[in-house]
Amino acid sequence: MTESLFALGLGTGTRATRGGWLEVFYPAPLRGVAPAIAATLGTYCGYAGGNAVLEPPASALRALAGALNDAGAAAQAEIARALSANAADAVITVLATDAAPASVPEAYLKLHLLSHRLCRPHEQKLDGLFAVLPNVAWTSEGAIELAELPRRQLAARTAGRTLTVHGVDKFPRMSDYVVPSGVRIADGARVRLGAYLGEGTTVMHEGFVNFNAGTEGPGMVEGRISAGVFVGAGSDLGGGCSTMGTLSGGNKTVIAVGRECLIGANAGIGISLGDRCTIEAGLFITAGARVTVIDDTGATVRTVRARELSGGSDMLFRRNSLSGAIECLSNRAAIELNAALHAND
C-alpha cells in the first residue's frame, strides 16, 4: 500500500452478550499512518484496504508486534504484545479515510483522536455517531449491556459486593480512557470521551465539556461547553454559565469563544465571541436578542439583533439596570487568568 491512512487504533474492548462491541479503549491511537504500517497490517492481519475493523488472533498480534517495532511504531508494538495475551477482546481499527463512523470501534477511535488532541473539534466527520453508539451502563465493573445489568447486579450481591452504576449513557467519562497532559478535572463525570482539553485547562466541579468540543487551553471551565463549541486560550467560563450547542433545540450555528473572554456566572451565549469579550453575570445573549450598541462617548450608535455582532472582538455585554435593555460597549480590559491555577503538572 502506498497511501497513508487517516487513523489507526490498537485496542481492547467490551462485547455485549450478543457479540457486538459496547466500547473500545485505544491507549495510543495514531493519526496520519505511514504506508509501511498499512502494509504491515495487510501482511499479518489481513487488512485489504478501506475503513476496517480487524479482530486478529493472538499469533497474528505477536507477529504484528515485531513488525510494528521494526517500522518504528514502538508504542503500538507494545500494545499489540499486550493484546495477544487476551486476543478475544482485541480489536484493530483502521480508518483509511475520514468517513462517518459505521461501527462502535470506528466511533470510539474518532472520540479518542479528539481526547488525545490528535484532532480538534470539527476536524473529522462524526455524522451518525449517536446511531452507532449503544446506550451502556457504566459501572464499577466496566461497561455492561443494559439487558444484562439486572443479572450482573444480582451476581455481584450474591458474591458479597455492590455493583455501582455511575451512569447510563452513550458516552463514557473521558478520564476512564484518556487523561491529557496538563489538565485538572475536578469531577470525571463532567467531561465526556471525545472532549478536547488543551494544556492548562482546569474543569471545576460544576464545569462540563461535551464531545467534539473543548478548550485551546489554558482556561477555566466552571460552566457548560456544549457539543461543537470550542473555547480559545485564556478564557474563563464562570460558574453555571452556558454555551449553546447544536444537538437540540433546532440550533444549527456552531458557537465559538475567542481568546481572553469572560462569560460571567449564570450567563450564556447563543452567538460566537471573538477575542477579549465579556458577558455580564446572569445575562444570556441569544441570537435574536435586541442589543443597543454604545460608542466610547456613551452615545447610542444603533440597535441590532445579537447575531449581527457574532464573532466580534472587544465587546462588553451588559443589561442596563434602569431600562433593562441589553447593551454592547467596547471592552477595554482583557481577562487575565491566574497562572498558578493552570500550571497543571
Least confident span in 14-18, 246-250, 305-309: 246-250
Rounded to the nearest 10 degrees, the angle between the axes of helix 35-45 and helix 58-70 is 160
Q: Which grid cell is 60?
A: 497474528
- The residues facing 197 across adjacent strands are 215
The answer to whether the beta carbons of residues 151 and 216 sit under 8 Å apart is no
The answer to whether the beta carbons of residues 76 and 93 sit under 8 Å apart is no
What is the average pLDDT across 102-117?
98
Question: What is the C-alpha to C-alpha distance for residues 67 and 64, in angstroms, rounded to an integer?
Answer: 5
pLDDT tens profile 149-207: 999 999 999 999 999 999 999 999 999 999 999 999 999 999 999 999 999 999 999 99
pLDDT tens profile 18-64: 889 999 999 999 999 888 898 899 999 999 999 999 999 999 999 99
Q: Which grid cell is 153?
A: 447486579
Q: Which of 23, 145, 199, 222 is catalytic?
A: 222
How far is residue 274 from each of residues 215, 227, 234, measured CA to CA in Å? Answer: 14, 19, 12
Q: 254: which DSSP letter?
A: P
The answer to whether the beta carbons of residues 235 and 254 sit under 8 Å apart is no
pLDDT tens profile 246-271: 655 445 678 999 999 999 999 999 99
State the pLDDT confidence band at 340, using cuts at 50, 70 and 90: very low
pLDDT at 71 over 90: no
- Count of other CB atoms within 10 angstroms of residue 279: 24
pLDDT score at 19: 84
Query: Per 3-state DSSP, what percentage of the chain is helix, strand, and coil (rounded to 5)?
Result: 25, 30, 45
Number of alpha helices (DSSP H) and beta strands (DSSP E) in the chain: 6, 27
Q: Is 222 a catalytic residue?
A: yes
State the pLDDT confidence band at 70, using cuts at 50, 70 and 90: confident
State the pLDDT confidence band at 73, using cuts at 50, 70 and 90: confident
Domains by residue range for the chain, with CATH: 5-128 (3.30.70.2010), 137-169 (3.30.60), 174-342 (2.160.10.10)
